[in-house]
């Protein structure tokens, strides 16, 4: 039974489980990127990184997590970065074979790999598909050469289009990442990018606003970005284009054709569990009486050395305090345009709904939260001011 004690977690069932794998290298660090990515070293070898050593570390890292997930099935895998498409097809096959041998992977699990259009080759993508990758997410960002150059991307518009065509030949699901609010971007240029993306009819699109993140080149040397009003106009225009083309906005930045949502990311947003392996990877694993988070060594060299010398690369492993769970839950679930069923709160946090009753009332009074008692769902106003809504659930 669910405990009525707001200071004690009691889960009646464990949530779905996913696996995230971080690949920390890229050919060139983009000036806006705040992800854990490291430019490959020229002259080290053809790849610029030690693939065999890193894969060995990943497999050993996964093995450290096995006692925490005995008997649980893994429903999806996401290989992010960095630029995972820098891996060889043979290396990818070795990694996925090792994973299948160690975890109970759902037979039709969604297995996603991020790819840079500048590192896409037809033969290599065919090899990835043969290894078991069935979904690819392409970092297009824009189709316009001037914008791509301003963003520090290594590909041009023609290469972006070619990469999409190749990917669609080999994978049943392809996502395109697009950015808006780019340096000096006009309403017309933003529209052209979305219309070009729609012409390929990929089942999924991600649509992100360029933001200046701390500790990035753009934060120190900011480009000339459109005004807030101009960015809002671009957003409204392009969302309208996506909706008219048959894409549903199911999360703040995600749009999909019917039944083509990203299963892995939905698991995050529904406060599911995930193992995180690789340099800088984060994980969340639930137990009947607690929910934990883990963080790995961030730098790839430190990560591999830790796995080799200690057999473990954790730099943090902690139990999430019950008082912090409501905010963590709402931080994720309120990003979904349909929200989640109200009983999901107790199912995923192990806490009674009464612990957030005051915050729920405030959110409804401010017209930020839908008043339907069976659903935790932001109103259109709540989606527009999502940070304000989420902050109501802070301790």
- Render pLDDT for 63-115 as a digit per residue (tens, 0 to 9): 999 999 999 999 999 999 999 999 999 999 999 999 999 999 999 999 999 99
* C-alpha–C-alpha distance, residues 75 and 107, integer Å: 9
- Residue whose token pair is 């065919």: 126
Q: Which helix (H) or strand (E) holds 22?
A: strand 17-23
Residues above pLDDT 90, as percent of the chain: 87
Mean pLDDT of 191-200: 98
The pLDDT of residue 121 is: 83
pLDDT in tens, 379-390: 999 999 999 999
pLDDT band, residue 208 (cuts 50/70/90): very high
Tokens of 328: 């963590």
What CATH superfamily classification does 17-267 receive?
Aldolase class I (3.20.20.70)
The pLDDT of residue 4 is: 57
The pLDDT of residue 48 is: 76
Beta-carbon contacts of 366 under 8 Å, excluding residues fewer than 6 positions away, are: 388, 389, 392
Beta-carbon contacts of 179 under 8 Å, excluding residues fewer than 6 positions away, are: 141, 142, 151, 208, 209, 210
* C-alpha–C-alpha distance, residues 125 and 157, integer Å: 19
Determine which of 153-157, 212-216, 255-259 has the lowest per-residue pLDDT on average. 212-216
**Is CATH 3.20.20.150 the right assignment for the domain spanning 321-395?**
no
The pLDDT of residue 219 is: 84
The pLDDT of residue 37 is: 87
* C-alpha–C-alpha distance, residues 221 and 225, integer Å: 12
The pLDDT of residue 119 is: 76
**Are 322 and 8 in contact, with CB atoms under 8 Å apart?**
yes
* C-alpha–C-alpha distance, residues 309 and 296, integer Å: 15
Query: Strand, coil or helix: what is 291?
Result: strand
Q: What backbone torsions phi and psi does residue 161 show, to the nearest 5 degrees?
A: -65, -40
Q: Which residue has the higher pLDDT, 88 or 119?
A: 88
Number of alpha helices (DSSP H) and beta strands (DSSP E) in the chain: 15, 16
**Are 268 and 332 in contact, with CB atoms under 8 Å apart?**
yes
pLDDT band, residue 1 (cuts 50/70/90): very low
The pLDDT of residue 46 is: 54
* C-alpha–C-alpha distance, residues 369 and 382, integer Å: 6
Q: What does pLDDT average to over the chain? A: 94
Q: Which residues pair with 175 in a beta bridge?
A: 137, 204
Instruction: List where CATH 1.10.10.920 sits in the chain.
Output: 321-395
pLDDT in tens, 305-325: 999 999 999 999 999 999 999
* C-alpha–C-alpha distance, residues 54 and 44, integer Å: 14
Instruction: List where CATH 3.20.20.70 sits in the chain.
Output: 17-267
Beta-carbon contacts of 104 under 8 Å, excluding residues fewer than 6 positions away, are: 71, 72, 73, 74
The pLDDT of residue 41 is: 75
Q: Which residue has the higher pLDDT, 328 or 32?
A: 328
């Amino acid at each position: 039974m669910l405990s009525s004690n707001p200071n004690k977690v009691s889960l009646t069932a464990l949530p779905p489980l996913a696996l995230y794998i971080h690949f920390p290298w890229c050919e060139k660090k983009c000036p806006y990127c705040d992800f854990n990515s490291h430019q490959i070293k020229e002259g080290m070898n053809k790849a610029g990184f030690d693939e065999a050593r890193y894969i060995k570390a990943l497999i050993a890292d996964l093995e450290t997590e096995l006692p925490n997930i005995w008997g649980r099935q893994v429903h999806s895998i996401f290989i992010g970065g960095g630029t995972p498409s820098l891996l060889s097809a043979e290396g990818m096959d070795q990694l996925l074979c090792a994973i299948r041998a160690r975890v109970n992977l759902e037979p039709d699990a969604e297995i996603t790999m991020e790819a840079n259009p500048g590192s896409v080759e037809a033969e290599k993508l065919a090899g990835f598909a043969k290894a078991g990758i069935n979904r690819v997410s392409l970092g297009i960002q824009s189709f316009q050469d001037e914008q791509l150059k301003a963003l520090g991307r290594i590909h041009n518009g023609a290469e972006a289009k070619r990469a999409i065509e190749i990917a669609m030949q080999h994978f049943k699901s392809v996502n395109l990442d697009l950015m808006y609010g780019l340096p000096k971007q006009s309403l017309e240029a933003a529209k052209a990018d979305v219309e070009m993306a729609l012409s390929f009819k990929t089942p999924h699109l991600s649509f992100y606003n360029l933001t200046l993140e701390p500790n990035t080149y753009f934060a120190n040397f900011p480009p000339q970005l459109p005004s807030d009003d101009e960015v809002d106009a671009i957003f409204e225009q392009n969302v309208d284009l996506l909706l008219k083309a048959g894409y549903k906005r199911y999360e703040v930045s995600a749009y999909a054709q019917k039944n083509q949502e990203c299963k892995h990311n939905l698991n995050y947003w529904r406060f599911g569990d995930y193992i995180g392996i690789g340099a800088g990877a984060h994980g969340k694993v639930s137990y009947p009486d607690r929910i934990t988070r883990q963080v790995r060594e961030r730098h790839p060299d430190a990560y591999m050395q830790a796995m080799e010398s200690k057999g473990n690369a954790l730099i943090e492993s902690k139990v999430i305090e019950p008082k912090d769970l409501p905010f963590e839950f709402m931080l994720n679930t309120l990003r979904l345009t349909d929200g989640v069923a109200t009983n999901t709160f107790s199912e995923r946090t192990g806490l009674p709904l009464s612990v957030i009753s005051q915050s729920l009332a405030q959110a409804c009074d401010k017209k930020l939260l839908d008043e339907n008692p069976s659903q935790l769902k932001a109103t259109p106003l709540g989606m527009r001011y999502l940070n304000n809504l989420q902050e109501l659930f802070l301790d």
